[in-house]
Amino acid sequence: MTRRWDLAVLEEYIRTLNSNKHWILSTVDSVSHSLLIYQYHKSLARDAFAVYKVEHDPDGIKMFTGAMMMGTDDEFENAKLASEANLIAAINMTRNTFDMFAQLVNALAVPQPLCIEHCTISKVRDGLPEGALKAEITRVTRLPWFRYLSGFSNTIKHRQLVSHEPSSKHHECTGEYLGGGAQVAAFEHQGRKFKSYWVQEVLEGTVEIHNEIVTLGITLNEWCLHSAHAMGSKR
C-alpha cells in the first residue's frame, strides 16, 4: 500500500521560512493539483474502451477485425482517441510533476538554488548535498519506467507513438494474455532504445512512477522536519 504524503506537514514548515514562502506554498498546491489531474487522465485512459466493449463487443472479438481498424465504427474511433489522448496526458502530467517537485526541492534543500528556468529534477538532484533526499531522487531517476516516461514525453513532441493494431501480446515471463489493440511503438531517445508496450503496460508504469513522487514527497517532509529540528536546537 502506498504511503500518504502529508502536505500539511510540508506547508507548516514552509510557513516558518523568512522568504519566498508564498511562492513555495503555491508550488505545493501545483504539485498536489497535478497529482489529481494525473489520476483523472489515468482513469479515462484505462476506461476508454470499457463502455464500448460492454455495449458492442463483450467478447473482445470485434476489437481486432479489419472493419474496426479501418475506422468504420465511430464509437470505436472515439474510444481509440480517448485512450490515446488520456494516455499521453497521463504520461506528460507524471513527468511534468517531477519538475514541479524539483522546484520545491530547489527552494528548500539545495544550498545554492538554481535559476527557475534551469530547474529540472536531474539538475536539482546533482545540486543536493549527500543524504537521504539525494539518494532517493537518484534512485527514482534511474528507474526504467522513469527513463521511459521521460523519453516518451520528449519523443511525442516530434512523432506519433500510439497506434491501434489488430494483434495480441502475452507477458514475457508468465505467458499471461495482455490483450491487443492499442500499442505504444518502440522508440529511441538520447541513445536509449525503448521497446514497444501495450497501453495497459504503460499505464501501469505511470502508476509506479506516480507512487514514487509520493515517496519523494515523504522524503522531503523528513528532510524538512530534520532541518526544523536542527534550527531549533541552535536557538
Please report how many Cα atoms fall inside a 13 Å half-sphere around the Cα of residue 169, on the Cβ side. 18
Mean pLDDT estimate for the chain: 83
pLDDT of residue 68: 44
Please report how many Cα atoms fall inside a 13 Å half-sphere around the Cα of residue 95, on the Cβ side. 18
Which set of grid coordinates corresponds to residue 229? Answer: 529540528
Please give the average per-residue pLDDT across 70-83, as a whole number: 72
- Checking 156-162 for CB contacts under 8 A at 24+ apart, the result is 156/88, 156/91, 156/92, 159/187, 161/185, 161/187, 162/83, 162/84, 162/87, 162/88, 162/199
**pLDDT tens track for 178-229:** 445 578 889 999 899 999 998 889 999 999 999 999 999 999 999 999 887 6
Q: Which residues face 76 on adjacent strands?
A: none
**pLDDT tens track for 82-118:** 888 999 999 999 999 999 999 999 999 999 999 988 8
**pLDDT tens track for 143-175:** 999 999 999 999 998 888 887 554 455 556 665
Between CA 24 and CA 6 the distance in angstroms is 16
